[in-house]
Amino acid sequence: MGFNLGAFLGGAARGGSQVLDERRAEAERARVTKEERQWQIATEERAAARTRKANRASKEKQAAQLLEKLQFHYGDKAQAIANKGIGFAGEALARAGAYQDAGLNPALMVDIPTGKLTDVPAGQAGAVPSAMTFKPITEKDEKDHTTFQARLVAANEDLMKASTGPERVAAQEAFDRINAAHQKFKQEAESSGSGQLDFSKTTRDTMLQDPITNAFKNAGLYKRDINGEITLKFDGNQGQVFSIMDSIITQNEEAFIDVTDKPFITKLQGQRTALNNQVSAYVQNTRNNPEDVFLNTNIPKFVPLENAGTTARSKEEIEQGRKSGEYRPNQVVQYVFTNDNGEQEIGYAIITTTGTLGMGSD
C-alpha cells in the first residue's frame, strides 16, 4: 500500500485545525468564566452595599426613635444624653420611667453643667460633659405628691359617678379645689428644683384608663378566651363600646382642660385619637360591605341616604329613628349636615344604645 501524501497533509491540517478549535474553545470558556466571576463579584458587592445601606438606615431609624423618646422626657437635654451612647440613653429612659412613677419631671432631674449641649458632634471630645448626673428620688417627694394624687383620684371617681347636674357641679368644684392646691404644691416644688409633675404614671392610668375599664366591666363587655385571657367583647357591641369610650373621654377632656402635665395630655389625646380611628375604621368597613345584614335577620348594617326617600336625612332624624326603633345599635346611617362654611356634606352616624356617634364628612 503506497503512502498517500495528500491524505497525510489533509489529516495534519484537520488535526491542526482541531487543536486551534480546542484552544479557542478553552479561551472562550476562560473568558466566560472570568466574566461570570466578575459579574458574581459585582452582584455580591451590590448586595453587600444594599445590606450596608439597609443596616445604616436601620441604625439611623433606631437612633432617631431613641432620640425622640429622650426628647419626650428630657426636652433639649435629649441630644446630650444620646451622645453618651445607647447604654447611657437606655439608663436615662429607665430613670425617666421611675421619675414619672414618682410624679417627677425627668427634664429637671438630670444635671448637665454646660451652656450649649449640642454644638459638638457626637463622638468628639467635649461633646457631652462627664459630670452629667441624675438626681435621686427622695422619700418626701413621693409621700407629698402621692397624698395629693390620692385625693385627686378619689375626687375624679366622684366626678365620674355623678349622675345628676348638681352632683356633677359639686364633684367638679371639689376636684378643682384639690387640683388648685396640687398646682400650688407643684409650683413650690419646682421652684426648689425637685421637678414635680402634675401626675405620676399610676395616677394618670387611674384617672384616664380605669374609668373606661370599669365601665366595660359593669356593662358585661369582658369575656375569657380559650386561653383564659380576658378580652373585650367588641364584635356585636361596637356601638356600646364606642359610646362608653366617647362619654368618658369627653368628661375627662372637660374636667382636665387646665391640666398642663405633658404625659397626661398626650395620653388623653391618644385615647381620643384611638377612638376616632376605631370609629372611622368601623364606618369604612360597614360602607364597603353594603349587603351585610345582622345575624339571623334581614336588617342591613349600613343605611344609605337612598333609604331616606325624598328628604335628606339629618342627624336629628336619626336620633328620632333610634328612639322609635327604626334604627338599631351598631348600624351605620348616612346623613347630611351643614359644615362651618355653610356647605352640605355627607356624615355617618353609628347607632349606640344611648344615642348616636357621628362622623363627618364623606
Instruction: Look at residue 16 in the predicted model and tell me its pLDDT.
Output: 58
pLDDT mean over 290-313:
82
Average pLDDT score over residue span 45-51: 80
What pLDDT, on the 0 to 100 scale, is given for residue 140?
52
* Strand partners of residue 196: 104
Cell numbers placing 302? 349600613
* pLDDT score of 307: 63
Query: Which position has the grid cell 461570570?
Result: 36
119 pLDDT band (50/70/90 cuts)? very low
Task: Between 200 and 248, name the one with better pLDDT.
Answer: 248
Digit-coded pLDDT (tens) for 87-99: 888 888 888 877 7
The pLDDT-based confidence of 333 (bands split at 50, 70, 90) is very high
Cis peptide before 191 (omega within 30 of 0): no
Q: What pLDDT was estimated at residue 224?
A: 78
- Percentage, residues of the chain above pLDDT 90: 10
What are the boundaries of each domain within the chain? Answer: 7-128, 145-285, 290-360
pLDDT in tens, 210-221: 888 888 888 888
**pLDDT tens sequence across 318-329:** 999 999 999 999
Contact of 159 with 255, CB cutoff 8 Å: yes
On the question of pLDDT at 196 being above 50, the answer is no
3-36: buried (b, 16+ CB within 10 Å) or exposed (e) per residue?
Answer: eeeeeeeeeeeeeeeeeeeeeeeeeeeeeeeeee
